[in-house]
Amino acid sequence: MEKAKEFLIYLLLIIGLIITMIPFLWMISSSFKDVGEIFNYPPSLIPHILKLSNYIYLFSEWGFLKPILNSLFIASTVTLSTIFLSALGGFGFAKYNFKLRKPLFYILIGSMMIPLQALIIPLFILMKTFNWLDSYYAVIIPFLVNGFGVFLMRQYIVTIPSSILEAARIDGCSEFRIFLQIILPLIRPALGALTIFSFMAMWNSFLWPLIVFQSSSKYTIPIFLSNLVSGYRGNEVYGVILAGSVVAVIPIIALFLAMQKQFLSGLTLGATKM
């Protein structure tokens, strides 16, 4: 009975994997096809003739390198800031007793329930007041830290025995040195999970950069690909769009493969009571 149950579970997982992977594999395959073969029916998973023209057009004629660099700069800057400031804030909430600690933490959790769409108008007015529209500041500064990151770090740091920190204080370590040399190495699983979440969120961010950016030179990958779709340039652009989509997922896959151990460990966080 147990073996039959285990077999059924693995069978369902394999079926789910196949259903998930087929569109992704078709996207990769079609990025090497010409427009006629893309729209063939029935569709073929393997190209009859492997062509690199879509990728060549993407970089030579459409200037795809600039959106890639923009997305890398924005996503990397926000991710580095998020993991550092979130760890710092989580450390404060987890290991320090200060006035209004619990109310402030509950307010922090409550902020996670407010969608970005509800903040767009006041945030836009604020960016306009600072004269930051059509600049990287408007996309980076408001997202340097978020409530989810602080919550995740706090839930992990609270499990670290306070006796370790007390021993470091007796040895003469400053609070910031304790944070850098003791806390950060011990919370690597949480940092790995937060790195992937933050980078993927900023890499795929579309609505806010679309509202803020006016110059095409500052466009990120999602805005660039969206403009290709809505540009009414004919069917020949679909191969270029698929090639751009393939290039766009490479950094996410590479980041996950590099940090999958920390990510899987970090998925078990958050079970500690508040």
Give me the torsion for CA of 82, 121, 225, 45, rounded to 10°: 80
Q: Which residues, in sequence order, are CB contacts of 206 under 8 Å at separation 6+?
A: 222, 223, 226
Over residues 111-129, the mean pLDDT reads 90
Please say if the pLDDT value at position 274 is more than 50.
Answer: no
Whether residue 110 is contained in a domain is answered as yes
Question: Phi and psi (nearest 5°) for 33?
Answer: -105, 160
Is 5 among the domain residues?
no
- Nearest-angstrom CA–CA distance, 215 and 131: 15
Confidence of residue 124 (pLDDT cuts 50, 70, 90): very high
- Extract the tokens encoding 7: 């077999």
Residue 13 in any domain: the answer is no
The predicted model scores a pTM of: 0.86
Instruction: Judge contact between 141 and 75, C-beta under 8 A.
Output: no
CATH number for position 55: 1.10.3720.10
Establish if 170 belongs to a structural domain. no
Q: Which pLDDT belongs to residue 142?
A: 93
Range of the domain at 110: 33-157+187-266
- What contacts 35, CB < 8 A, 6 or more positions away? 235, 236, 238, 239
pLDDT of residue 268: 54
In this structure, is residue 246 part of a structural domain?
yes
Query: Could you report the per-residue pLDDT of 196-244, keeping only the tens digit for each?
Result: 999 999 999 999 999 999 888 899 999 998 888 776 556 668 888 889 9
Total domains in the fold of the chain: 1
Q: CA-CA distance, 139 to 121, in Å (whole number)? A: 14
Is residue 272 pLDDT above 50, yes or no? Answer: no
- The more confident residue out of 41 and 83 is 83
Q: State mean pLDDT over 146-169.
A: 90
In percent, the amount of the chain with pLDDT more than 70 equals 93
CA 10, distance to chain mean position in Å, is 29
Indicate whether 48 belongs to any domain: yes
pLDDT at 254 > cutoff 70: yes
Confidence (pLDDT) at 227: 86
Rounded CA separation 47/31 (Å): 9
The answer to whether position 141 is within a domain reads yes
For residue 42, whether the previous peptide bond is cis, meaning omega lies within 30 degrees of 0, is: yes
Domain for residue 11, yes or no? no
